[in-house]
Amino acid sequence: MMRYLSNIKKLYFHPGKFFASVEKDKDYSKIMFFYVKMIILSSVLTLLSSAIILTIKKSFTAQGFISLIFNSIVSIGLAFLVPFVMAGIIHLGVLIFRGKQGYYNTYKPIAYSLVVVAIYSIISTIVTSILSVIYPANQLPPMTADPAVYFQTLLQDKNFILLLAVAFTILIVSFIHSLIVQIVGISKFQKISKLKAFLSIILISIILIMLVILIMSLLISFIPSAAIS
C-alpha cells in the first residue's frame, strides 16, 4: 500500500519521473489495476460520504442506498473499459502526428492520467460533502411537477450555486492537470514533441464534438419538418 501511495504521489506531482520509472512496463493488467484500485477507493469514499450526508439530512432510505451501491458498481465496471476507449480515440490523433510506437504507448499515459482525474474526484467528493453540511441547499420541489420552477429554485439557491462553482472549479483543474500528464506521457512514449502530443489529444476530441453538434443540429432541424409533414 505504501508503495502504491508513493507511486500515486510521484504521478500526481512529478509525472516525468513517474513515467521514467514505468518506461519498461509492458503489461496492460498492471496499468489497468493501478487505475481500478483508485476508482474503487473513489467509489467507496463517494458511497460513504453520500450515506453520511443523507443520514445528517434525515433523508437516508434503503432505495437511495441501493442506488448509490449500483452507481459504485457501474463506475468500477466502466474503469475496465474507459481507458481503452479513450486511448483508442486519442491514438487516432497520435497517428496523424506520426507517432509510431503503437497503441500500448498511448494507452499507458492515458490510463495513468485517469488516476489523476480519480484523485480530483475524491477531492471534489470530500470538499462538496463538507460544504453541503455547512451550507445545505434548500429543499427542492419535485422535478416532475414543473421543470421551470425546479431549475428556477436551483438558480436562486446561493448554497447550491456555491457547491456548483466549487465542483466546476475542481473539474477544470482536474482537466488541466490530467491533460499535462497526458502530454508528458504521450510525448515520452510516442517519441514526439509536447506540441504534437497536445494536438494529438485535442484534435480528435474537437472533431468528435463538431460531429455531435452537427448531428444534433440535423436532428433538431429534422424533427419540426417531420412533425409538419
> What is the arithmetic mean of pLDDT over 155-159?
77
Contact 36, 79 (CB under 8 A): yes
> pLDDT at position 219, please?
73
| Least confident among 33-37, 95-99, 204-208, 223-227 | 223-227
> What's the rounded Cα separation, in Å, for the pair 49 and 68?
11
Domain count, the chain: 1
Q: pLDDT tens for residues 99-133?
A: 989 999 999 999 999 999 999 998 998 898 888 88
> What is the arithmetic mean of pLDDT over 161-187?
94
Its domain, for residue 32, covers 2-228
Contact 129, 51 (CB under 8 A): no
